[in-house]
Structure 1
Amino acid sequence: MNYITTFFPPTGQLFLGFLALILLLIIVSYLKSSHFKGKAGEAIVKLSINSKLDPNIYHLINDVTLPSFDGTTQIDHLIVSIYGIFVIETKNMKGWIFGNKHNKTWTQTIYKRSYTFQNPLHQNYKHIKVLSKITGIEENKFHSIIVFIGDSTFKTTMPDNVLDRGWVDYISSKKDLMLSTNLVQDAIERINSQKLEASFKTNREHIEQLRANRNRLKS
C-alpha cells in the first residue's frame, strides 16, 4: 500500500482527481480569455517601455481607470513627458485586421470567421477627451497610439500611429517640446488623484458600464 492509498482511499483519490481536473479547466479557460490576453499584451508593452525609454523623461502610468461623462474609461498605458502625453491602447489579437480611422468598427478575421470590434482610434479619442478635462491640457498635446500584440496582420493600410512593432521608436520620434516640467508633474498628480483604485470591483463595474452602453446603442 503506497503513501497516497494510505492517506487517501479510492473515493478520496477520485475526488482529488476531479478537483484537479476542474482546476485545470479553469486555468485553461482563463488563459484563453480576452482578459488574460489583454493583460499579457499590456505586460509586453509595459516591459518594452520600461526597458527602452528614460523614466526621468517618460513617466509611465499603467492600467488607469478614470471617471468620465458616461461612467468610466479605462486606459492601458499613459506616458507623460515634455514631448506630450502618449495614450496607448493595446490589442492582443491574432488573424487578419481590417479597418481605417473613419470606420466605427474594425474587423478581425480568423480562418474565414469574422468578428467586429470598436475602432481603437475612436476608443482612444474618448480617453484623450477625458484626460484633457482632468489635466487642463489641450487635446493637441496628446499622442494617440494603438499597439497590436500577437499574431495579427494588417490587411488594410493603417495610420502611422497604429502599430504592430516599433512603438517605442514611434514615441521616441516625437521631439517637439509641448509641456514644461512643471506641467508634466501637475498632469501626473491630477491623473493620480482622479484615477480609481485598481481592483476587481472597479474592473467589473467598468465592464458592466461598457455592456450597458453597447446595449443602449443597439436599441
Structure 2
Amino acid sequence: MRGTKIAQILKEQDSLDEAGGKRILGGIIAIILGLLTLYFTESGLIGFGLIVVGIIVVQQGNAFWKGADGENMVTNLLENLPYNWSVLNDMVVGSSQIDHIVVCPKGVYTIETKNYRGTIYGNAEKKEWMQVFPNGSKYDFYNPVKQGNKHSLELSRYLESNGLKTWVNTVVVFPSDEVELKVYSPKTQVLYLKDVAAYFMNQKDSIDQNTCDDIVKCIQNLNPAEYENVGYNN
C-alpha cells in the first residue's frame, strides 16, 4: 500500500453501534409488552412501568448511536492521514475501552471522542466538566482529559509489559459542529474536529517506522482474530 495517502484503519468502531442497537431493540420490546399488558390485563402499573423503562432504554440506545456517529467522524478524518500511519478504533486495553489509537512516526496517541453539543466548560484538573445548552440546561460529565489519560496509561503499561517502552499521548476531540469549547487543558490537547489533522502534522517525528510496526503488532495481539485478513505495511 506504499504510495497511497490513506492511513490504515486496522480496526473499525463497532461496540457503540452494537450496544445502541441492542438497547433500542430491548426498549421497543419493553414498550410493546407494556402496551399489551395494558390492553389485555388490569395491571396498569406494570404496563405503564414497562413503557417508561422502554422509553428510557431507547433514549440510551440513541445516545450510544450518537456517540458512534462522533467516533465515525473522527475515523473518517484519521483515514486521510499519511499512508504509514495506523489507526485502531474501539480497542479494549485492560479496563479501558479506547475510542481510537493512532500509531505513527510522530508517536502513539489515544483519542477520546465526545460527540457533545452546546458549550463545554472544563478544567483538566477538575473531576467534572459541564455541558450547557442555549436554553440554559446544564449537565455535568466526567472529565474526558482524566478519562483519556487513564486510557493512555493503560496502553503504555501494556506496551511496556511487552518490551515496548514508549510515551502514549492523549488527545480529546469534540467532533460536533454545534459545540463551543471553553476548556483549560495546558498539557492535554482538547480539540475541535477541524483542528485534529493540523495538530498531528505539526508534531515532530519521535519514533522510527520499525518501532511503529512493532507497536501496532503488539496492540493487534490483544485480539488477533480481528486482523486475520488485514494486511500491514512492513
Under a length normalisation based on structure 1, what TM-score does the superposition of the two structures give?
0.68
The answer for the alignment partner of 2:83 in structure 1 is: 55
Give the SS at the match of 2:221. Answer: helix
- Deviation of 1:63 after TM superposition, in Å, equals 0.8
> After alignment, is 34-43 or 153-162 more displaced?
153-162
Q: Once the 2 structures are TM-superposed, how far is the Cα of residue 195 of structure 1 from its aligned partner?
A: 4.5
- Please provide the CA RMSD for this pair: 2.8
- The Cα shift of 1:127 comes to 0.8
Distance in 1 between residues matched to 2:98 and 2:156, nearest whole Å: 14
> Which residue in the other structure is 1:162 paired with?
190
Partner of 2:207: 179
Q: Which residue of 2 aligns with 1:16?
A: none
CA contact under 8 A between 1:64 and 1:196: conserved in structure 2? no
**Aligned structure 1 segments of 4 or more residues deviating by more than 6 angstroms:** none
Match of 1:112 among 117, 130, 136: 136
SS at match of 1:163: strand
Aligned pair count reads 169
**What does residue range 79-98 of structure 1 map to in structure 2 within 5 Å?**
79-98=102-121
User: What are the superposed Cα offsets for residues 69-119 of structure 1, whole Å, 9 maximum, x if unpaired?
Assistant: xxx210111110121002111100111100011111111112222111111
CA contact (8 A) 1:100 1:157 kept: yes
SS at match of 2:114: strand
What is the CA distance between 1:138 and its match in structure 2? 4.4
Offset of residue 146 of structure 1 = 0.6
Secondary structure in 2 matching 1:47: helix
Q: Does 1:148 align with 2:174?
A: yes
Report how far residue 55 of structure 1 moved. Answer: 2.5
Note the residue ranges of structure 1 that are not aligned, 5 or more in a row. 1-18, 199-219
Indicate how the Cα distance of structure 1 residues 82 and 156 shifts in structure 2: closer, same or farther if over 3 A, else same: closer
Distance across 1 between alignment mates of 2:224 and 2:196: 27
**8 Å Cα contact 2:91/2:98 also seen in 1:** yes
Shift of 1:178: 1.9
**1:43 and 2:89 equivalent?**
no
Distance of aligned partners of 1:35 and 1:196 in 2 relative to their CA distance in 1, 3 Å threshold: farther
1:99 and 2:101 matched = no
For 2:184 and 2:64, how far apart are their aligned partners in 1?
A: 28
Q: Secondary structure at the match of 1:92?
A: coil
Contact 2:124 2:143 in 1 (8 A): yes
Q: Alignment identity in percent?
A: 29
Question: Aligned letter for 1:79?
Answer: V
What SS is found at the alignment partner of 1:166?
helix
Q: Secondary structure at the match of 1:147?
A: strand
Please tell me whether residue 189 in structure 1 is matched to residue 213 in structure 2: no
Q: How many Å apart are 1:134 and its aligned residue?
A: 1.3
Pick from 133, 140, 144 the counterpart of residue 157 of structure 2: 133
Alpha-carbon distance in structure 2 between the residues aligned to 1:90 and 1:41:
7
